[in-house]
Amino acid sequence: MTDSAPVGALAGFKVIDLSRVLGGPYCTQILADNGAEVIKIEPPQGDEVRDWGPPFKDGLSAYFAGVNRNKRAVALDLRTDEGKAVLLRLLDGADAVIENFKPGTMARWGLGYEEVLAETFPALIYCSITGFGAEGPFGGFPGYDAVAQALAGNISVNGSPESGPTRIGTPLVDLGTGLYAAIGILMAAEERRRSGRGQRIDACLFDTGVALMHPHAANYFMSGKAPTLTGNSHPNISPYDQYPTGRGQIFLGIGNDRQFRLLAEELGAPELAEDERFLHNPDRVINRDALNARLVELLAGCEAEDLSRRLSAKGAPAGAVLTIPEVMEHAHTAAREMTVALDGYRGTGLPIKFGRTPGAVRSKPPLFGAATRAVLAEAGYDAGEIERLIEQGVALEARGDAPS
């Protein structure tokens, strides 16, 4: 990177990342993509998702590589007193620290926020990600994405009557928690600009899962009725569903009467928009089955991608149902720079586009302990001290207790 190259909106923002798996690393990758210096600290056995595969390439799992670019990897044994001392030195001057240990772990290690870190580093932003928080009947329980999806109701509204409740195909709760955590850290940074003080951020998968239950929660609060499985269709809008065409599947997202008229005209059936059963969205929702039956007839002679382009160009949202390879090689994906490549690494692009301070992929996902020596040296340890820490297993460059 040259001195004149953009460095991102968060240049100069330093993050110590103690998190593993998905929610925390996704949060810190967002920060790192936009210029933050992120030091990823792993335990001796490493972040467990290094082993979540296949596929693997160049010593990395795809799962790990997808959420850990633009970071520097350091390995420390925080169970040791010297490991804790190294962490405290790294926290000196850091803007934020993020961890996803079970509640109380940092306190048991003598690194609790209220007891130690807030006193030692009053400006530090401390973000804790857990499965269910520390309080309540599930407080302290471990949690992965699908478990939180189940307990927060997400699975109960996903699927069809034929399939039954179905896990959402992407880890939406973990990713959403990472997004909320990133937003929370930046909110805390803005408040710190006024107060000069850091604070603790409590983010958990269960809370995210509940918060993402729109419109099902809103519908329940207003009607008192439990949502039912509707497959691809929307409980409040019609036609908002997936349909077969003569070639491929298409999703129609028709949100208002004007869009419905455009759809009817494009399908060569303008009379649909004049049918009393389909005049307005509430009518179309009530008469969903009759409308869907007619649409399936009309769509049989269409080609999904061609029709989706024609409808969208006229202002009626529609999308052909594309596969992951089709998406990643699509012309619009390229136009939006939503794939990136660097020295053999490929990943998804940055969804936030800044006018003056764009983010960038500056470094590939790191191998375990790749920056241990360099980061310790930058923290003031001399070569002899670094060698001793490595020999004693306090700092590491190779994984211990990892699966073979």
- 154: pLDDT strictly greater than 80: yes
- 377: pLDDT strictly greater than 60: yes
- Confidence band of 185 (pLDDT split at 50, 70, 90): very high
Among the listed residues 95, 174, 207, 241, the single catalytic one is 174
Above pLDDT 90, what percent of the chain? 96
pLDDT, position 7:
80
- Give pLDDT tens digits for 112-128: 999 999 999 999 999 99
- Confidence band of 193 (pLDDT split at 50, 70, 90): very high
- Give pLDDT tens digits for 248-275: 999 999 999 999 999 999 999 999 999 9
- Give pLDDT tens digits for 9-64: 999 999 999 999 999 999 999 999 999 999 999 999 999 999 999 999 999 999 99
- 350: pLDDT strictly greater than 60: yes
Our answer to whether residue 306 is catalytic in this structure is no
Residue range 366-384: mean pLDDT, rounded? 97
Residue range 193-222: mean pLDDT, rounded? 97
pLDDT, position 403:
42
pLDDT, position 2:
37
- Confidence band of 187 (pLDDT split at 50, 70, 90): very high
Q: Mind listing the domains of the chain with CATH numbers?
A: 14-212+343-396 (3.40.50.10540), 240-328 (3.30.1540.10)
pLDDT, position 6:
54
- 402: pLDDT strictly greater than 70: no
Residue range 210-217: mean pLDDT, rounded? 96
- Give pLDDT tens digits for 83-97: 999 999 999 999 999
Above pLDDT 70, what percent of the chain? 98
Specify the pTM.
Answer: 0.92
Residue range 228-250: mean pLDDT, rounded? 94
pLDDT, position 400:
74
Distance of alpha carbon 259 from alpha carbon 253, whole angstroms: 9
- 1: pLDDT strictly greater than 80: no
Instruction: Give yes or no for a contact between 372 and 364, defined as CB atoms under 8 angstroms apart.
Output: no
Q: Mean of the per-residue pLDDT values for the chain?
A: 95
- Confidence band of 143 (pLDDT split at 50, 70, 90): confident
- 138: pLDDT strictly greater than 70: yes
- Confidence band of 142 (pLDDT split at 50, 70, 90): confident
Reference 95, options 31, 24, 43, 3; nearest CA is: 31
pLDDT, position 4:
44
- 347: pLDDT strictly greater than 90: yes
Residue range 328-343: mean pLDDT, rounded? 96
